[in-house]
Amino acid sequence: MSGLVWLCRRETLRVSKLWTQTVLAPVISSILFILVFGLSLGGRIRQVSEVEYEVFIVPGLIAMAMVQAAYANNASSIFQARFDRYIHDVLSAPMHPWQVTLGYTVGGIFRALAIGASLLVLSLVLVDVPLERPFALLAAVALGLLLFSALGVVVGIYAETWDHTTFIANIVILPLAFVGGVFYSIEVLPSPWEELSHFNPIFYLVQGVRFGFLGESDVSVWLSLGVTAALALPVYAWSQWLFTTGRRLKP
């Protein structure tokens, strides 16, 4: 287990030593979203589902910041390890493949939780966001971070250039997050946009996190958790398979 502990420590130190870039910058960006959208639209959109608008957007913004961080951390970490060729040192260490997968996953989850916890504290101070269903929130966050941490590992292994890792973040994850109900309830959308929202995987994660905070969401919390789990487990298994087989990792 010493190898797993070492790898987890390395990945978490990678986050903590560069905390101004890995944690502070995303927190500031999300807080600015809360302030700007809360101030600019709060006067026009007083409430959404009987919830103050500045409170309504907090769960989605926290979810968006956390999944982006989990993905970006692991995609960049794995790609850098491959680019600098020290991934071979990790693979040759006395660790089982599942330990390598878990060690890298812990790094992404650690960064995401640091951002999420910081945003939660600031949100409690700024807009007094409630925490109605903590266990549902924990379940949604755990599944969401598992999904995007594992996705970061997979993309980091397959990526040929740095642009490939940022392409998924900027062209896939970020747009899906923005149209995933972060800033609005899909109940206000006309057809067919409301129906199409149900094909967005990030929509279910946002709804699960929102239910944990506010005790309400656009879809059943069980559906949200089920869809997120149905995506997280295969992606994590994919990342595990890559480390087990050494595909694109071993010369």
Domain ranges of the chain: 2-245
List the alpha helices (DSSP H) in the chain.
2-16, 19, 25-42, 53-83, 87-92, 97-126, 134-158, 162-167, 174-178, 193-197, 201-214, 221-245
pLDDT, one tens digit per residue, over 42-64 is 556 666 777 888 888 899 999 99
Give the burial class of 38: count Cβ atoms within 10 A of its Cβ; 0-12 exposed, 13-18 middle, 19 or more buried: buried
pLDDT, one tens digit per residue, over 157-191 is 999 888 888 999 999 998 998 888 888 888 878 78
Lowest mean pLDDT among 27-31, 230-234, 236-240: 27-31
pLDDT of 99 higher than 80: yes
Between 64 and 247, the more confident residue is 64
pLDDT of 198 higher than 90: no
Calpha distance 19→21 (Å, rounded)? 5
Calpha distance 119→180 (Å, rounded)? 19
Percent of the chain with pLDDT over 70: 94
Backbone φ and ψ for 51, nearest 5 degrees, come out as: -120, 135
